[in-house]
Amino acid sequence: MAGHSKWANIKHKKARQDAKRGKIFTKLAREIIVAAKEGGGDPEGNVRLRMAIQKAKENNMPNENIERAIKRGTGEDSDGVKYEETTYEGYGPGGVAILLEILTDNRNRTAAEIRNLFSKHGGNLGESGCVSWMFKRRGMLRLKDNSGMEEDDVILMALEVGAEDGQKEDDVYTVMTMPENLEDVKEELKKQGFEILSSEVTKIPETEVDVKEDNVKELLTLLEELEDHDDVQNLYSNFNIEEKHLEGSY
């Protein structure tokens, strides 16, 4: 999960920058709107909404923004905009698989813009199903290393409370779980004193593609521009980049 973990860390660093200009709030609000529309405005009975609200709070989204998004989803405060969920799949430079989860109010516009981004940066938008089979759903927790414990002991503890895998990068642990076990593992680790930086259900590649040095810059540019697109809610990829080639890219 090395490549995925690196991109997750890049995304979280980038999210702090995006939050300054409100971009991430727009995407978080869309997810809350769709979740509330799909399963109602009560997070206790709507797992997707509960996770969306949690992610919004992790990114310091104001409570009034969250409440407004819920009301828009339930129809209490509708602006008439309807979002459609879809998935786009394709390949980036070096044959890297890219899977995009989209929320759009204009499918034709979004498809054209996404296709253009792939083409501009040495990739191509593929047919439905061309890469989605490479990914599996998993829960992912990011923990701050403030325990004073040895790395192996932290990973063992996570496994004992239901995690499937874990690794440390810099001062952050990334712990993987089955989606249905995410909340239980999170609560157990919180009891052990770990600070939870983020928790989400994500998609992990079953195999990775090693990216050659001459493809690194173009691939990361493509991933950044796709991530920046207003209609892209989630981006998953199976790249693996050597640390020495990644340094200085972000």
Each domain of the chain, given as residue ranges in start order, spans 84-133+207-246
Nearest CA among 171, 140, 137 for reference residue 158: 140
Rounded to whole angstroms, what are the CA distances from 194 to 117, 122, 145, 170?
39, 41, 7, 16
Q: What is the pLDDT of residue 134?
A: 94
Q: Give pLDDT tens digits for 12-70.
A: 555 555 555 567 888 999 999 999 999 999 999 999 999 999 989 988 889 999 999 99
Instruction: Answer yes or no: are the C-beta atoms of 158 and 189 closer than 8 Å.
Output: yes
Mean pLDDT comparison of 74-83, 102-111, 198-207, highest-scoring range: 102-111
pLDDT at site 198: 87
**What average pLDDT does the chain have?**
87
Pairing of strands 97-104, 84-91: antiparallel
Give the CATH fold of the 84-133+207-246 domain. Alpha-Beta Plaits (3.30.70)
pLDDT bin (cut points 50, 70, 90) of residue 2 is very low
Residues 119-151 pLDDT 10s: 999 999 999 999 999 999 999 999 987 777 888
Interatomic CA distance for residues 215 and 93, integer angstroms: 6
